[in-house]
Structure formats: C-alpha cells, structure tokens
Amino acid sequence: MSNSETIQNAIPPEIRTMVRSVKFADGVATVIADASGLGRSAAAQLQKEIEQAASAVEGVNEVRVALMADKVKRRIIVIGSGKGGVGKSTLAANLAVALANAGRKVGVVDADIYGPSQVMLLDPDRQRPKAEGNTLIPVETPFGVKLLSMAQLVEGGKAIAWRGPMVGQALTQMMEADWGDTELLLVDLPPGTGDVQLTMLQKFKPAGAVIVSTPQDLALIDATRAIDLFRQADIPVVGIIENMAGYACPKCGEISDPFGSGGAETAAQAMGQEFLGRVPLSMAIRVASDTGTPPTANDSEQAQAFNAIADRLGTWLDGQTA
C-alpha cells in the first residue's frame, strides 16, 4: 500500500468520501476535499478532521488541505412597499416558509433595521446568531428557513438610532453572512425608498422585487414609487401582491372590503406588471403571526393564498434559469 493510500485510509470513513485526492512527497501530505454545500463552520471542521487524521500517519510531517466547493448560485428577491402598515413582513415570512416547504433552500434577511419584526414571525425564541470572526452565522428557525435580523442582535425593545452609514454596514454584515447552501434570500425591506433600498440595489443587485400593497389608493400611490425605484435600478419587478383584500365576518361570513377591493390588481394591469395574488384580512393570520407560527407552517386554510403566491414566485424564479 502506498503512502497516499495509507493516509486516505486513515481519514474517518464518514468524511473519506469527500476526499478527492491524496498526494505524499517529502513528508508533506496534500489532501484535496470537496466541501460543496458546507457552511463556513462545517468546512472548517472538515479541514480540522482531515489534518488530525493525516498527521497521525507515520512519516507525515506536514498536512496541507485544499477545500474545493461549487459556488452556490444565490439569488436575492426583495419584498418592498412604498409605505408601512401593508403587511409586508407577514407576507415575506409566509412566502419564505411556503418556498422552503416546496423544497427550496431559503433564508430571510430582515432589512427593516429600525423596525425588525421577522423574529416575532419566524423565531419567537429570539435565538442569537453565532459568529466566526466578523462573519455572522444565520439562525435556523423551526420552519426550515434561515434568518438574520437586527432584533437578534440588540436588546429587545431598545431603539436603534443609527445614521445611514451604520445602517448600510449592518445590512452588509447580514447579507454577507455565512448562508451556507442557501439558494434564495428573501429580503424584507423597510417601507419607502431610503438608505437601505439604495444600498441593496447598488451593492447586492437583487434578481427581482415583489411589491406589497393594500387595495386603497393611498397605498397604491406609494407602491408606484417603489416600483419606479426598482425600474430605475434595472431590477425586474416580479409582480404586485394585494394584502388585506376583503374581510370575512367570523359570525355571519359576510365579506366586506374595509380597504377597498381590486385596487392592486387594477394598478398592476395599468403599469404592465404581473398580479401575484391577494391575501384576505384575517384574524387567524394575525393571531398566528403574533404567536410565531406562520399559517404556511401547518398548511392551514389561511395558508392557501400565501402558497398560491409562492408558487407563482417559484415559477418566475425557474423561468429565469430556464
């Protein structure tokens, strides 16, 4: 048996299949291993185990480990709105869970630095992300979605009073975290067209934008401004979602439209944009969100509207790679 074979056999069987080649010359063992799909911490652990195993072989004075990895093609979809209070964060959380349920590897960046809410929606236990050096490691939520939010990094209820450069730095740190094999990042943007949006568009170039609006004219005016920002930045608008569209009385079942009806669909047609669907105003959705259990997590009746929109977003994503 050659020295190279001896070194390879010394590597534990559970990671030996990841070894692509072993060379030995002049007391130096050079091992090339496949780390595709591994996050930063898992790759570091793989390297450590190979080094320990190879260095224990008689005659090996030095071990050099080279890790190869197929670069994950990670796409970014931003969820935006022209104004606050339209349910954008609830939509982002439920779309993320629905896409994860469909087999996609999804992460969520809560980019609403001043008013982060994804922790309540996706991780009510408020886990703190770990870090390796200056690199954050996203939290694994109970719903198969990775998450980073300012709410995980600051004391609960504490105001974040930062100027633009600090906000941009915080966003960059979350976007450049160790997302591992995550293929799709949904970014819950703050309302409006300010510093966070500009940093996102200029530095990270999203693959597309989803716009959330309620049916009334005031929200649609602001949604139009958000669409114009993405158009100026040459970011494709995937489509518009109409949220809080109709309310079913829990006692009599009668449907009322406190915010109007069909406004977002009409606006989408007028602007030549895709209409992705509507989500009703529902007490059940509100209660589920407040308790950190997105409707899409348990395939409830309230999940149907979110699932349908997620299917359309998934079809759009697949079409971009066809």
**pLDDT tens readout for residues 15-35:** 998 899 999 999 999 999 988
Q: Is the pLDDT of residue 212 over 70?
A: yes
* Residue tagged 């236990």 (tokens): 125
Q: Is the pLDDT of residue 301 over 90?
A: no
Q: How far apart are CA 319 and CA 164, in angstroms?
A: 36
**Is the CB of residue 190 less than 8 Å from the CB of residue 111?**
yes
**Is the CB of residue 94 less than 8 Å from the CB of residue 186?**
no
Q: How far apart are CA 235 and CA 204, in angstroms?
A: 11
Q: How far apart are CA 71 and CA 291, in angstroms?
A: 37
pLDDT reported for residue 289: 84
3-class secondary structure for the chain?
CCHHHHHHHHCCHHHHCCEEEEEEECCEEEEEEECCCCCHHHHHHHHHHHHHHHHCCCCCCEEEEEEECCCCCCEEEEEECCCCCCCHHHHHHHHHHHHHHCCCCEEEEECCCCCCCHHHHHCCCCCCCEEECCEEECEECCCCEEEEEHHHCCCCCCCCCCCHHHHHHHHHHHHCCCCCCCCEEEEECCCCCCHHHHHHHHHHCCCEEEEEECCCHHHHHHHHHHHHHHHHCCCCEEEEEEEEEEEECCCCCCEECCCCCCHHHHHHHHHCCCEEEEEEECHHHHHHHHCCCCHHHCCCCCHHHHHHHHHHHHHHHHHHHC
pLDDT reported for residue 72: 62
Q: How far apart are CA 148 and CA 113, in angstroms?
A: 11
Given pLDDT bands bounded at 50, 70 and 90, which one contains residue 162? low
**Is the CB of residue 63 less than 8 Å from the CB of residue 55?**
yes
Pairing between β-strand 130-132 and β-strand 135-137 as defined by DSSP bridges: antiparallel
Q: 306 is written with which tokens? A: 């979110």
**Mean per-residue pLDDT for 105-112?**
94
The CATH code of the domain at 75-321 is: 3.40.50.300
pLDDT reported for residue 262: 67
pLDDT reported for residue 30: 94
Pairing between β-strand 275-281 and β-strand 106-110 as defined by DSSP bridges: unpaired
Q: Is the pLDDT of residue 296 over 90?
A: yes
**Of 199, 263, 275, nearest to 237 (Cα)?**
275
**Mean per-residue pLDDT for 78-85?**
81
CATH 3.30.300.130 fits domain 3-68: yes
**Is the CB of residue 304 less than 8 Å from the CB of residue 294?**
no
Q: Quick check: do 3-68 and 75-321 share a fold?
A: no
Beta bridge partners of 75: 184
Counting Cα atoms < 13 Å in the Cβ hemisphere of 278 gives 20
Q: What percent of the chain shows pLDDT beyond 90?
A: 42
pLDDT reported for residue 253: 64
**Is the CB of residue 179 less than 8 Å from the CB of residue 74?**
yes
pLDDT reported for residue 223: 77
Length of the chain: 322
Q: Is the pLDDT of residue 293 over 60?
A: yes
Mean pLDDT is lowest, of 45-49, 176-180, 255-259, 285-289, for: 255-259
Q: Is the pLDDT of residue 295 over 80?
A: yes
Q: 293 is written with which tokens? A: 């259990």
**Is the CB of residue 69 less than 8 Å from the CB of residue 33?**
no
**Mean per-residue pLDDT for 98-105?**
95
**Is the CB of residue 222 less than 8 Å from the CB of residue 81?**
yes
Given pLDDT bands bounded at 50, 70 and 90, which one contains residue 226? confident
**Mean per-residue pLDDT for 157-165?**
61
Rounded to the nearest integer, the mean pLDDT of the chain is 85
Q: How far apart are CA 127 and CA 125, in angstroms?
A: 6
Given pLDDT bands bounded at 50, 70 and 90, which one contains residue 153? confident
pLDDT reported for residue 319: 86
pLDDT reported for residue 248: 67
pTM: 0.76
Per-domain residue ranges of the chain? 3-68, 75-321
pLDDT reported for residue 115: 77
Given pLDDT bands bounded at 50, 70 and 90, which one contains residue 142? very high
Mean pLDDT is lowest, of 72-86, 178-192, 201-215, for: 72-86
Q: How far apart are CA 296 and CA 107, in angstroms?
A: 16
